[in-house]
Amino acid sequence: MSPQAPAPERAIILAPLGRDNQVALSILGEAGYSGSAATTLADLCAQLQEGAGMAVIAEEAINHVDLAPLLQHLVDQPAWSDLPIVLMTYHGGPDHPPSMRLGKQLGNVTFLERPFHPVALVSLVSTAIRGRRRQYEARDRLNDLGDSQQRLQTALSAGQLGEERLRQLNETLEQQVEERTAQITQNEEALRQAQKMEAVGQLTGGIAHDFNNMLTGIIGSLEMIRRRLARGRTQDLDNLIELGVTSANRAAGLTHRLLAFSRRQSLDSQPVQMNRLVVAMDELLQRSLDESIRLKMQLGSDLWVAEADPHQLESALLNLVINARDAMPNGGELVVETRNQHLDARFIQGQSNLPEGDYVCLSVRDNGCGMPQSVISRAFDPFFTTKPIGQGTGLGLSMIYGFSKQSRGHVAIDSHIGKGTTVSLYLPRFKGELPEQAGTPAIRSRRARSGETVLIVEDDSAVRLLVCEVLRELGYTWIEAADSASALPLLSSPQRIDLLISDVGLPGGMNGRQLAEIGRQLRPGLKVLFITGYAEHAAVRGGFLDPGMQMITKPFAFELLTSKVREMIEA
């Protein structure tokens, strides 16, 4: 990275405290951007005169100095130029009082709140540089038009043009304008595509960061267990095993949140008595709060029955309560409210794929610090969080957003600085006949009875091996197949099969659902337990599962697997 080389797309960084300059330059250099460091405001202005794509400025570097040289440089910019500036702020972002003042003075400013992830800095810089390139294109277009107009004016002044020639020149000028306009349109389309890829990059960067931490816990604990076993040390392994299991469960939780955000989780939508669900969670919610926070329930009377996945709804409510708690570090009042709500045409205007009709609303309201509009606009973005590093993944609200959309509902945020925030989750009213409340049969033992046989169809050899081992320990007879082609001869044979366990996504052109259909033709009444990590056609279970079919999602606890196997065989 050349520190002082004039470059129209370089980033000039003014962050003189500590190693901020060097760290920022290193991050941008690894991302492929050239840059230089400025030590003072005067140095920054001098480098801007030599040419720059944008500036990254730490708030403390310009907070108590004379900004006149920088402001004069911004005023003296050509008409086509609007220098992008990334202002690194402290907690509070653009609503932090010094930041508000600086933002108004500097003009084309975006805010980067510290502490920040390197991905966030690269994202803002790349967006600024792309905007700067569009300014350069506008400059070139203006220059081209100016040159053409100058040539035309010169020829007219000299009296050298006849009417026909003048018409030809006008046509040429119009064609140049059309070509330049088409080029700019094409560049704008490329910019939109680049922005999409930037969003993907930010998402995958966040995933990689979190998964690498979790994999370190899993791999490290397994490696330590292997070393101790090799030395014959079998004591004190419980802590290492617990570490590995905890890290693995965190990874599973991250996967479920990502599926929720992308609306690809497997939902078990059913009638939900919202008030009953909230009351049942009261103790858990109380334990999640500090003593300085008062929890109030305002449950609507004659509440309609909602249609949703109750487990995902519980997770959403817990996430909202924890977010509200974190917004009230000095204590306050947290209100969980339920009510009936009819969303009319005016409400749903501008909402994508939200039908007019009756909804059950679950709101969580706090009287905490509130959120500025800049945060509200990004609150549902994956991995966006205002919490300090290590205190939030930035997936809670994005998971709730995906869950609401996949449930044919809606989520909205109403927040005011210093007054608090209300997040409202709207779920559709259940319109069908309520099923009779049937008790789940008591399972006295999960061990197999004599001769009970399970067919396991799973293409992942590790998953297949583990399922087989668990069933073997409980006394089941099991047979296995890696795909549908291997399973069909077993289903058509006289072999006893009490239950089919099948992955939904199988190789070879036939998925688990199709295999189950053929299996039931060969063996009427065959019971089927699907296991799935992700299957788009199984994203909503309604219409996918017939009677005698159930589904569990990977990764699953073996306790859940064995209870489902016993329950389905005995049903």
pLDDT digits (tens, 9 = 90+) for 457-513: 988 887 888 888 888 888 899 999 998 889 999 999 999 999 999 988 888 778 888
pLDDT digits (tens, 9 = 90+) for 22-43: 888 888 888 788 889 998 898 9
For the residues of 201-255, what is the DSSP string, one character each?
A: HHHHHHHHHHHHHHHHHHHHHHHHHHHHHHTT--SS-HHHHHHHHHHHHHHHHHH
Q: What angle do CA 216, 217, 222 make, to 5 degrees?
A: 100
pLDDT digits (tens, 9 = 90+) for 317-367: 888 888 888 888 888 999 999 999 998 877 776 665 678 889 999 999 999
- Separation of alpha carbons 5 and 288, rounded Å: 55
- Separation of alpha carbons 333 and 295, rounded Å: 6
| Token pair of 349 as six digits | 């205007």
For residue 388, pLDDT beyond 70:
no
Are 339 and 303 in contact by the 8 Å Cβ rule? The answer is yes
CATH class of 453-570: alpha beta
pLDDT digits (tens, 9 = 90+) for 185-220: 566 555 555 555 554 555 555 555 566 666 777 777
Are 243 and 270 in contact by the 8 Å Cβ rule? The answer is no
Burial of 340 (0-12, 13-18, 19+ CB in 10 A): middle
11-131 folds as: Rossmann fold (3.40.50)
Residue 390: predicted pLDDT: 42
270-428 folds as: Heat Shock Protein 90 (3.30.565)
- Separation of alpha carbons 114 and 23, rounded Å: 13
Residue 298: predicted pLDDT: 93
Count of residues in the chain: 571
Q: What angle do CA 279, 306, 367 make, to 5 degrees?
A: 55
Two domains, one topology: 11-131 and 270-428: no
Domain residue limits, the chain:
11-131, 216-261, 270-428, 453-570
Helix, strand, coil percentages, rounded to 5, for the chain? 50, 20, 35
